[in-house]
Structure 1
């Protein structure tokens, strides 16, 4: 038969709120900056394949977009994370 698990199945544990907030903050950062990277890749592909702008111009366009979007996201964090 099954052995004793060593814990009560219905018991509630204590939640570690600081760890929860750190994990949530990291998740939000991953989503925000991951989205910026994906859209920057799409900007590169748009400029290179559709606009025929060349590799260097396409790369610079994606880099400028990524920089501006990262700056805007970072300044938004200062305002939105104050509770």
Structure 2
């Protein structure tokens, strides 16, 4: 006996586009802020270790660049 299916075996639940957009927005925000924090940390470490700025110089650069990044990325 032959079985002929005309459609998919299981279609599953319908896509929740509102939740999908919310998750995608959170992913983009996390990527944006995470990238900014990583770049700022690397610049501050370069100032602290390589230019002779020391811990306080690197910390000051870190704070200033974080503040500028928050202001610019809003």
TM-score normalised by L of structure 1: 0.71
Aligned Cα RMSD in Å? 1.6
Runs (4+) off by over 6 Å: none
Q: Any gaps of 5 or more consecutive residues in structure 2?
A: 1-7
Aligned residue-pair number: 67
- Structure with higher Rg: it is 2
Matched residue of 1:70: which SS? helix
Q: Any gaps of 5 or more consecutive residues in structure 1?
A: 1-7, 75-83
TM-score normalised by L of structure 2: 0.79
